[in-house]
Structure 1
């Protein structure tokens, strides 16, 4: 009898522990997180160089941005030298904007190098999109020449802002499209949500649908959705649920996150956590009570009508009339690639 009580007690404690870990992992998926910062060791304006801590990101070749708060930005270029003796890296300083960088000791390293629409040298202005519960600001960027009836809606991902979606504007501009770079609830610019929690597209898509309505009311006849990461979930939900879906001419999905169970499993694997814990975290997001504990306003249905272009779940209006283009970031980035490739077998490339 005593052994039975002990076994039950152990099982209860284990279940509580697993549940607590599942909630922690679920919160990491949907809650805002402070950005990881890179230490700035020296800025030499005379030699136009910046020296940083060397890590996997700062050692990567290419051009990057470095934000120091809200009022300091540097455009960083090629590697000048890598000093292994003190684990530092010196790179070319291409551009400095704002005053916040001069005294900064750390900054946010990013691959999103366009700091504002102004650097595109196009006619841009900010507009306010009416959405449920308030407004969502957006940048309206017009190409040179005659006004066009084809618009591009640029949709950013989870835990980012619309500035990260600017990178697809030049491609749309080359095609003569008017661009609308949107915000949505919970992204610090759209309406506030409880705890800043993301709905992984399920609560955000109506705000982007309002942006499509704005485009149609202001001269657009067709819209193309350029979507980053979680923005791909929003884009696919729009092809299924939007009353304006017939106006959607195509999708461009960059590092798409649409199968959130796979994304959570991938994150658990990267953190060396067991697969059953990832399944428990997904369950925590979907449960009525557990989602409240996680901090969500309502459960996230990860299985019901999962957004995608899988023939088994054909979204209304998302047939061959909606050409799909996908782009994938470096495989060392945060999104697993395999499910994105499986999301639309047989769909026009």
Structure 2
């Protein structure tokens, strides 16, 4: 029986290898008509795969039509994009990221003209009246001072150098026994985690908002490519080591989008995983194959081409074409398939209309592992903007769930019980 299983696995591996070799051979050779067709498909697969793992500059895809002064201050007229027509509080970055404004509620919306008028709550930098285009973001604040909090600028030793981070203390008198480490998403920065800091402080946690490889602040990886969590988790492990060296006894990881995938890998692979008390993941990538298939379909990429792209990321032969220094094991990061292996209490917050990272795998993970995983669906928030559309609910849900996880355990003699009790006491 074992021999048959092994033979089947070897046959499958051979088939996978041959499929990948043919995909790459079609791209490289392509002399005949059939070869040219294969080459075209393979070239598209290469392009698709490289797009997934290559850091890219933000596109200023939000049109700014006018800035006017209303009765209650500045207002901005924007093209009515799907993001700009969601009520809530957001950021508009412009002038190549040098300008930043906090955009508030919708004043009026004209479907006929495809425009939306919104309040401008604050302009942090730049001249908004000069802006013609920008990009929309859920990272609402520019720095801790903008939410009235003092922060220490610290550096964390990572592969290739030092990564800057913000350390925001819960109390000035002494380090907290439990630290929250905020892990931002793909194409974002540590600004993303500022939305969670007040909740962490209410639970008496110090907050460490980190940067990691290829995010524009931390040292880049040698290959300049995202590992989709398979490499970035080492920078989170370095952040945990920093926290432990500075007084942390336990850790709560917060992760957004790819930051969720990174946090799951950290909880799985880190030598400090026993210190990770809980995960709070917002719109996380639970299954990269699902996300890539979704994006292939959205971009009208044929299924087989999308599959070739996935195979190139995971196969050693694909490295020359993708630029990766090592293959990315997408299967190892499929937490739908590995649901029962997740042994860290996890809260998943995910909007059901997320068209960037579909919510289905989050719901599936919770269904397959209800002992460890709690799923909290939102509506109308798109991707990683659950806090922005309903901050009161987001903070209430996270606070209540974490308070239960951080409560002292029943065994009073258990090591760390006093620290956990201190970490569970809210300040307000």
- Work out which of the residue numbers 358, 368, 371 in structure 2 matches 1:336: 358
How far did 1:159 drift? 1.7
| Structure 1 segments (4+ residues) deviating >4 Å | 309-313
In the alignment, what sits opposite 1:284? 312
Q: Deviations over 1:210-244 (max 9, x none)?
A: 00000000010000000111112211111221111
Tell me how far apart the structure 1 counterparts of residues 337 and 223 of structure 2 sit (CA, whole Å). Answer: 33
Secondary structure, aligned partner of 1:122: coil
Match of 1:39 among 56, 63, 71: 63
1:124 corresponding residue in structure 2: 151
Quick one: distance in 1 between partners of 2:129 and 2:152? 29
Paired residues in the alignment total: 337
TM-fit CA distance, 1:312: 6.7
Tell me how far apart the structure 1 counterparts of residues 186 and 47 of structure 2 sit (CA, whole Å). Answer: 17
Find the residue that maps to 2:32 and give its secondary structure. Answer: helix
Q: For 1:86 and 1:312, how far apart are their aligned partners in 2?
A: 47
Match of 1:98 in 2: 125
Mapped to 2, the partners of 1:226 and 1:218 lie a distance apart of: 19
Distance of aligned partners of 1:112 and 1:219 in 2 relative to their CA distance in 1, 3 Å threshold: same
For the residues of structure 2 that align with 1:309 and 1:126, how far apart are their CA atoms?
37
Q: Does 1:26 align with 2:49?
A: yes
Residue 64 in 1 paired to residue 90 in 2? Answer: yes
Structure 2: runs of 5 or more not aligned: 1-30, 375-428
Q: 1:204, 1:44 → 2: CA distance? A: 43
Output the CA distance in 1 between the equivalents of 2:81 and 2:158. 41
Task: Give the conservation status (yes or no) of the 8 Å contact 2:182–2:207.
Answer: yes
- The secondary structure found in structure 2 opposite 1:328 is strand
The 3-state SS of whatever aligns with 1:196 is: coil
> Does 1:326 pair with 2:353?
no
Between stretches 247-256 and 284-293, larger displacement belongs to 284-293
Q: CA deviation at 1:313?
A: 6.7
Distance 1:283 1:313, change over 3 A: farther
Deviations 1:299-329 (A, max 9, x none): 21112x3353755772xxx52xx21111003
- Structure 1 gaps of 5+ residues are 1-7
Distance (Å, rounded) in 2 between the aligned partners of 1:168 and 1:269? 33
Under a length normalisation based on structure 1, what TM-score does the superposition of the two structures give? 0.90
Q: What CA RMSD, in Å, does the superposition of the two structures yield over aligned residues?
A: 2.2
Give the equivalent residue in structure 2 for 1:5: none
SS at match of 1:123: coil
Whether 1:9 and 2:32 are equivalent positions in the alignment is: yes
Paired residue for 1:193, among 221, 224, 241?
A: 221
Instruction: Give the Cα separation in 1 of the matches to 2:325 and 2:365.
Output: 28
1:187-225 deviation line (CA, Å, top 9, x unaligned): 111112356321101111111100000000001000000
Matched residue, 2:101: 74
1:233 and 1:307 in contact (8 A); partners too = no
SS at match of 1:236: helix
SS of 1:281's equivalent? helix
Moved more, 132-141 or 100-109: 100-109
Deviation string, structure 1 residues 125-183 (Cα, Å, up to 9, x no partner): 11000012101111101124653211001101112211122222222122111000111
**Alpha-carbon separation, structure 2, partners of 1:18 and 1:91:** 44
Counterpart in the other structure of 1:268: 296
In 2: Cα distance, 1:292 partner to 1:310 partner: 29
Question: What is the CA distance between 1:45 and its match in structure 2?
Answer: 4.2
Report how far residue 54 of structure 1 moved: 1.8
Question: Which residue number in structure 1 is paired with residue 386 of structure 2?
Answer: none
Partner deviation per Cα, 1:60-105 (whole Å, 9 max, x = no partner): 2222111113332111112222345543221111111123434222
Match of 2:422 in 1: none
Worse overlay, 40-49 or 104-113 = 40-49
Secondary structure at 1:52 match in 2:
strand
Residue matched to 1:4 = none
1:157-306 equivalence runs, <5 A? 157-194=185-222, 196-303=224-331, 305-306=332-333
SS at match of 1:343: helix
